[in-house]
C-alpha cells in the first residue's frame, strides 16, 4: 500500500492487500467502476468467501464511454457511508483512480485505488489478466 501526500485520495492498494482489507474490515467495500459489458463478459470479483458483494457502479457509460454523471448518487444509493473503506476497481487502475479522487473530493475519507485493476496491463502477447491485477493475483472471481 502507498499513501503519498500528493495523491488526491487515500492511496494505492494492491489486489491482495485489498482482499485482506475486505476480510478484516467490516466497513470495507469494493466498488467496481467498469461497465456493464465488462462485468458481464470479463467477470467480477467474487466476495462470497468474505461474506460481501461487490458494488457495481460504472464510472463511464458503455458504449459512448461518457462519464456517468450519476456516479456519486449511485454510490450513495448503495448505502455507502463517508467513512467506509472504499476499494475502487476498474480494468487497469485508471478509471478507479479518477473515481477515488472524485469520492475524496465529495468527502469520502478512505477511497483507495486498487492497483492494476481487475485485468492489469497487457502482456507481451497483448493479453490482459495474466501478469497483474485481481485475476492474475489468484483472487476469487466469477464470469457471467
The confidence score (pLDDT) of residue 59 equals 98
> What does each of the 144 residues of the chain score in pLDDT, given as a tens digit?
554 456 889 999 999 999 999 999 999 999 999 999 999 999 999 999 999 999 999 999 989 999 999 999 999 999 999 999 999 999 999 999 999 999 999 999 999 999 999 999 998 999 988 899 999 999 999 997
For Cα atoms 10, 49, 9, give the angle at the middle one, nearest 5 degrees: 5
pTM of the model as a whole: 0.93
C-alpha span between 140 and 118 (Å, rounded) = 11
C-alpha span between 117 and 14 (Å, rounded) = 9
Spatial CA neighbour of 142 closest among 77, 74, 53: 53
Which residues are CB-neighbours of 142 under 8 A, at least 6 positions away?
43, 44, 46
Query: Which residues are registered as beta bridge partners of 85?
Result: 28
Amino acid at each position: 500500500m502507498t499513501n503519498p501526500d500528493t495523491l488526491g485520495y487515500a492511496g494505492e492498494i494492491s489486489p491482495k492487500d485489498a482482499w485482506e482489507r475486505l476480510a478484516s474490515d467490516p466497513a470495507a467495500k469494493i466498488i467496481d467502476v467498469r461497465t456493464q459489458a465488462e462485468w458481464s463478459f470479463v467477470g467480477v470479483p467474487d466476495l462470497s468467501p468474505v461474506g460481501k458483494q461487490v458494488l457495481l457502479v460504472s464510472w463511464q457509460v458503455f458504449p459512448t464511454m461518457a462519464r456517468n454523471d450519476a456516479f456519486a448518487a449511485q454510490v450513495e444509493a448503495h448505502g455507502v457511508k463517508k467513512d467506509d473503506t472504499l476499494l475502487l476497481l476498474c480494468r487497469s487502475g485508471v478509471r478507479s483512480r479518477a473515481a477515488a479522487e472524485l469520492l475524496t473530493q465529495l468527502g469520502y475519507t478512505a477511497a483507495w485505488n486498487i492497483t492494476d485493476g481487475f485485468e492489469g496491463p497487457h502482456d507481451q502477447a497483448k493479453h490482459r489478466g495474466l501478469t497483474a491485477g485481481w485475476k492474475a493475483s489468484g483472487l476469487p472471481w466469477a464470469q457471467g
